[in-house]
Amino acid sequence: MKKKILLVLSILFGLMFINSGLNKFFNYMPVPKDMPENMMKVMTAFMQIGWLLPLVAVAEISGGLLFMTNKYRALGAIIIFPVMLGILLTHIILLPSGLPLALVLLAINIWVIIENREKYLPMIR
């Protein structure tokens, strides 16, 4: 049962990050009209740094694809983890309304990392 729950959560998690990464390239989701001014300034700054959003988008898409597969889920979790920390900090500082979802996504990511901890041991040794 635990494996089935993890599989469903992993697929949903991966799809969310793939969607977010593709949106950075194709801009198909509209920006909310009630976006705080500070957040708009941050996003404008990110867009002015030409390489930053494509880098994050590639990390989200590749990490999301890997996260959805059982064999490479551990690698996907490590690729997405720094992006997840950025999402969490953004919601703590600028957009507290999205914090519950960010915490749920972080919990799923940490759960996958803990479940695959034996795969990370060779990197530490």
Look at the chain and report how many structural domains it folds into.
1
What percent of the chain shows pLDDT beyond 70? 100
The range of the structural domain enclosing residue 23 comes to 2-124
Per-residue b/e over 59-83, b at no fewer than 16 CB within 10 Å?
bbbbbbbbbbeeeebbbbbbbbbeb
pLDDT number for residue 125 = 84
pLDDT tens track for 41-69 = 998 999 899 899 999 999 999 999 999 99
**What's the predicted TM-score (pTM) here?**
0.92
